[in-house]
Chains A and B, each alone.
Chain A
Amino acid sequence: MSLEFRRAIVDALAEELERDERVVFFGEDVAAAGGVFAVTPGLYERFGEERVFDTPISELALAGAAFGSAICGLRPVIEVMFGDFMALPMDALVNQAAKYWYLSNEQASVPLVVRCAVGGGGRFGAIHSQIPATWFHGIAGLKIACPAFPADAKQLLKAAIRDENPVLFLEHKRLYSLKGDALADDDVPPLGVARVVREGADVTLVSVMKGVHDALAAADLLAADGVDAEVVDLRCLRPLDVETVLASVAKTNRLLAVEEGPAPGGWARGLLGAVAEAGLEQLDDVAVLSTPDTPVPYSPTLEDAFIPGADAIAATVRGRLGIADVRGAA
């Protein structure tokens, strides 16, 4: 059975709203309009305005209301429309939600989920195309989920809603129309478990969200060069499953982390550090393929060159291995 990514999101929301009456969902244009990316239609009609409602364009109030209601018995899911807007609710998430469990000496948990659409490639320009994961990566108490496949999107969102901690749930805009196999069972995995999505022996490619698909396409290109690439989908950036990456690197001895974002302060370099710390003897080569260290450009020619795609990943691997592009040589 085929499942579209955006359908996976709304199915997960509907199933959790149905399963647990404490779950509520609110944000800008999410209820009556069904979401600006047409991700959440029908929830308002099905669950009513007490459970699913539209809010003012007030991201700080949205996150604050999510925090305050989460510590008082609700399990709110909010939508912050574009990930770029996550600069606005920072205080409520970083200083209130993320710290409450610890500061309160475990008097109360903060089961909230912030969904937002992230990533470039849509010609939305610098302030509607970012991936804000790394803004939050250093915040103790938060979790960050970032699925690549429809089935994972559904399972991880359900896991996020059931989690007792604040979770940022990132949805890459270029994946919304992606279709994939639906899972037959309804096992909800814990957050923070990576998955090997392509097995290989020569090099490990690690990424999240759209980058996983680019890495898989690059692996196909590299196969023509005789390079057998393994692809790891991290699925979550916090907690970060370093163990799965270490196990892969133990086999391949080479690691390329592909990040849609600048390298400084990014998760990819952080992952390389963690891998080196625990498995330096396994490593022949490590590298990061990131975006240029500038804002995301608007013009299609510039944006296409800006985001690392399958060709750039394959070229980077060839360069690191010192082999020629067979197609170029032909």
Chain B
Amino acid sequence: MTAPAARRGERIAERLLGLYGRMLLLRRFEEEMQRLFLKGEIHGTLHLYVGQEASAVGVCAALQPGDTVSATYRGHGAALAQGTTPEALAAELMGRTTGACGGRAGSMNVIDRPHGLLGCYGIVGGSIASATGSALAAKRTGGVAVAFFGDGASNQAYFHECLNFAQVHRLPAVFVCENNLYGEFTPMAQVTAGADISARAATLAIPAEKVDGNDVEAVHAAAAAAVARARAGAGPQFLESLTYRHVGHSKSDPGRYRPKEEVEAWKARDPLTRARTRLTDDLGVAESDVAAAEQAVERELAAAIERALAAPYPDPATDDARQYA
């Protein structure tokens, strides 16, 4: 191997190790939140991102400071991928003062502006509007606005109205549909005419690409290209990330409507396992280096949860919420 080729291999390995570590943080965070939910530390409901980690991590790694992300009620992954600290996110889920929104928002509505997270939206499709407006502002500032949304959102007015709006006004938006094959409890193909979501974007002459959403390198490459095109003034871009959630829709859903074989087949394509295998088997990263990265994630997460659990709940007596800005 030539020296430049070797250096290039090292850079690829280094980047994938970083992406893998971030995906592991998302995975382990959700597993810990599940545990804390069952202990009563998290209230209401939770929509876990387990299985879809490559989408958020691959896309957000392609962004620059000043770009924005709008996500969904299944948004913990997008938040962590953008750099929201696990402590601020866990504390928000627990309703504590140190949460990203001081406990006012909760799991479904996290907002973290310092990390470019405009918001997570509790209504299906809401992220598409947020990103469309952000892209309108970004047209002046040079940034790019990303929307994450699910397959279910492709049947919402938000999808059709905002994609058209963004295209006719040539807005620098990247619309990322995370197609996990189920809109809540219902199979996508059963309620989505044509069963081809990126084809809908293509009818608006928006460049649209399908990508293996469980391959973080593929997602990252496709996202980097789409973001670059949007930034260069080519108008909105569309990415359909084909993926799967390993768990039910929310905490009230065990996901029994999905065939066991289907779930097992997708678990066999787990984005974390695939990235790890590629690191050790294809890219020659030492097992000890991967293990060290994994241990670092565990330490970070454990410390974050400990601090979040120690934080106080907001006190209604001293709550100083202002009605208006």
Could you tell me the distance between the alpha carbons of A58 and B165 in the complex, rounded to whole angstroms? 8
**A69 interface contact, C-beta 8 A:** yes
Q: Which of A91, A103, A110 lies in contact with B325, CB distance below 8 A?
A: A110
| A-chain residues with CB within 8 Å of residue B137 when the two chains form the complex | 68-69, 72-74
Return the CB mask of B210-249 against A: 1 if under 8 Å, else 0: 0000000000000000000000000000000000000000
- Name A71's contact: one of B118, B169, B323 (CB within 8 Å): B118
A96 within 8 Å of B by Cβ? Answer: yes
A-B contacts, 20 listed (Cβ < 8 Å) = A56-B161, A58-B161, A60-B157, A62-B165, A64-B126, A64-B132, A68-B118, A68-B133, A68-B134, A69-B134, A71-B134, A72-B133, A72-B134, A76-B133, A99-B109, A100-B111, A103-B101, A104-B113, A106-B325, A141-B324
Known A96-B130, A165-B324; judge A103-B161 contact (CB<8 A).
no
- Does B135 sit within 8 A of A, measured CB to CB? yes
**Complexed CA–CA distance, A300 and B304 (Å):** 68
B154 lies within 8 A of chain A by Cβ:
no
A-B interface contact total, Cβ < 8 Å: 142
Q: A74-B136, A164-B325 are in contact. Are A68 and B165 (CB under 8 A)?
A: no
**Cβ contact within 8 Å between B121 and A68:** no
Report yes or no: B133 in contact with A71, Cβ–Cβ below 8 A.
yes
How many residues in A have their beta carbons less than 8 Å from beta carbons of B?
A: 45
Interface residues of B in 166-190 (CB under 8 A from A): 168-169
In the assembled complex, how far is the CB of residue A49 from the closest CB belonging to chain B, in whole angstroms? 10
Q: Which residues of chain A have C-beta atoms less than 8 A from B112's C-beta?
A: 107
Name A108's closest neighbour in chain B (CB-CB).
B113
Instruction: Mark interface residues in A39-79 (1 if CB within 8 Å of B CB, else 0).
Output: 00000000000100101101011111111111111101000
For A56, the chain B residues whose CB sits under 8 A away are 161, 164-165, 168
- B contact residues around A294 at 8 Å (CB): none
Q: Assess whether A135 is interfacial by the CB under 8 Å rule.
A: no
Contacting A105 at CB < 8 Å: which of B68, B102, B324?
Answer: B102
Q: Which residues of B contact A207 (CB under 8 A)?
A: none
Is A197 an interface residue, CB under 8 A from the partner?
Answer: no
In the complex, which residues 129-160 of chain B have their Cβ closer than 8 Å to any Cβ of chain A? 129-141, 145, 157-158
Instruction: Tell me, yes or no, whether B122 is within 8 Å of chain A by CB.
Output: yes
Interface residues of A in 161-210 (CB under 8 A from B): 164-165
- 18 A-B pairs besides A60-B157, A68-B129 with CB distance below 8 A are A58-B162, A61-B165, A64-B126, A65-B132, A67-B129, A69-B137, A70-B133, A71-B130, A74-B137, A76-B136, A88-B157, A96-B129, A100-B111, A101-B322, A103-B104, A104-B119, A106-B325, A141-B323
What residues on B are CB-neighbors of A55 within 8 Å?
Answer: 165, 169
In contact, B145 and A103 (Cβ under 8 angstroms): no
Q: Is A92 an interface residue (CB 8 A)?
A: yes
- B126 and A91: CB pair below 8 A? yes
Decide if B136 touches A68 in the complex (CB within 8 Å): yes
